[in-house]
Amino acid sequence: MSAIAPSIVFESLKGWKKATEKFSAKLQEQIQIYFQEEITPLIHQAIKLDEEKPISSEQLLEFAQVLEELEKLNQDIEEIPVKGKEERKTQRRKLKKVLRKVKEDFSVRTEKYESYQETFEGSNSFFKTDPDATFMRMKEDHMKNGQLKTAYNLQIATENQFVLHYDVFSNPTDTKTLLPLLETYPHDLKTVVADAVYGSEENLLRLDEKEVNHLIKYAMFDKEQKRGYKQSARNLGNWYYNGKEDSYTHPDGWCYRFHHIKHQKTQTDFQQEIKVYYADEPESAPQKGLYMNERYQHLKTKECQALLSPEGRQLFAQRKMDVEPVFGQIKACLGYKRCNLRGKRQVRIDMGLVLMANNLLKYNKRTTQN
């Protein structure tokens, strides 16, 4: 993964999902109250509001059209002018105020929040001058305060330090970029080698279903190889499992029995099945519950065996020398650290030219040396 910053960030140009949801909810509350107190008594046509559903910008425009009867009142008053106070003038003044509130305030703000929600598309933020980008934490943090900058997530597939395929994503999480990248990969897949951030249950399962060879670390792989963890009570391999009772016994004697199965979905709508075990003595036990994902556990065991095999060790060790130098070369040798363009399509073209130039330089250097 490499985060490429397209432009300077200005605080006022950020769009945050939580803030949008908060202010949108407040606006809906204001609209509901205003319609009940001000608009409904003035309009003869009954406006039925569904309190369970938010009022859309289209509905607000329809209500504004109903209020256009104000024009008729204007014409009547101009044709038959009456000096002093009159009921029609009072009605016109009230309708003018309501119409202005609906058209210039409620309608505009509701439309803005609706467009923001469409722009998020699963992300929690966006940049108003480049909606395709999203906020990410950079390695180059000069202020040392975890500053967020707008960026794209560059993913590449390499062999012998040559880039064979690439794509840019608005998602800051690498885990959700592996499968979309492989779907557009134009060559035959031999073996997919990736680090721990890609080792999710969904990724491992989908690659097995497609019968693609893979060597992908999972989150706990490195820790599981340490002597301290192998002897630790936290290692489930040191617990005793009773198949008949479907229970686990802690090395210190606490028993955890099966209670129920919990189903949950990830951000990509991937369905997970978690078996929940509760301790017989929850007050004295080190943990009240034990959560077991048997399918993921099986996938991790299979992946661990492949990674620890002699061939797997050799292939995975080559990954660091294959992928990582490419990012260093385009940043240090080509001086490319920021995108020249904005917009996902333009950034993808820009990155394609840079990666192509890097491939040509590398090919030229290798051919001249030989």
Identify the pLDDT of residue 122: 63
Q: From residue 47, give the alpha-carbon distance in Å to each of 41, 51, 62, 100, 104.
A: 10, 12, 10, 18, 20
pLDDT tens per residue, range 280-333: 998 888 889 999 999 999 999 999 999 999 999 999 999 888 998 999 999 998
Task: Report whether pLDDT(203) > 50.
Answer: yes
pTM: 0.71
Q: From residue 340, give the alpha-carbon distance in Å to each of 74, 337, 354.
A: 55, 10, 11
- Residue of higher predicted confidence among 36 and 359: 359
Query: Please, what's the largest Cα pairwise distance for the chain?
Result: 101
| H or E element at residue 91 | helix 87-101
- Residue of higher predicted confidence among 8 and 349: 349
3-state secondary structure of 48: coil
Task: Report whether pLDDT(155) > 60.
Answer: yes
Best CA proximity match to 221, nearest among 296, 320, 311: 296
User: What's the average model confidence in pLDDT over 9-16?
Assistant: 42
State phi, psi for 196 to the nearest 5 degrees. Answer: -65, -25
User: What's the average model confidence in pLDDT over 8-34?
Assistant: 65
Torsion sign over Cα 334, 168, 118, 268: negative
Task: Report whether pLDDT(197) > 60.
Answer: yes
Task: Report whether pLDDT(184) > 70.
Answer: yes
SS (H, E, C) 159-189: ECCEEEEEEEECCCCHHHHHHHHHHCCCCCC
Best CA proximity match to 219, nearest among 287, 296, 165: 296
For 175, other C-beta atoms within 10 Å of its C-beta total 17
Best CA proximity match to 57, nearest among 126, 118, 16: 118
pLDDT band at 89 (very low <50, low <70, confident <90, very high): low
Task: Report whether pLDDT(45) > 70.
Answer: no
Task: Report whether pLDDT(144) > 50.
Answer: yes
Distance CA 121, CA 268 (A): 12
For 333, other C-beta atoms within 10 Å of its C-beta total 11
Q: State CA 166 to chain mean position distance.
A: 20
Q: Are 199 and 216 in contact (CB under 8 A)?
A: yes
Task: Report whether pLDDT(132) > 90.
Answer: no
pLDDT tens per residue, range 53-73: 676 777 667 666 665 655 555
Distance CA 81, CA 243 (A): 93
Q: Which two tokens stand for residue 93?
A: 């003044």
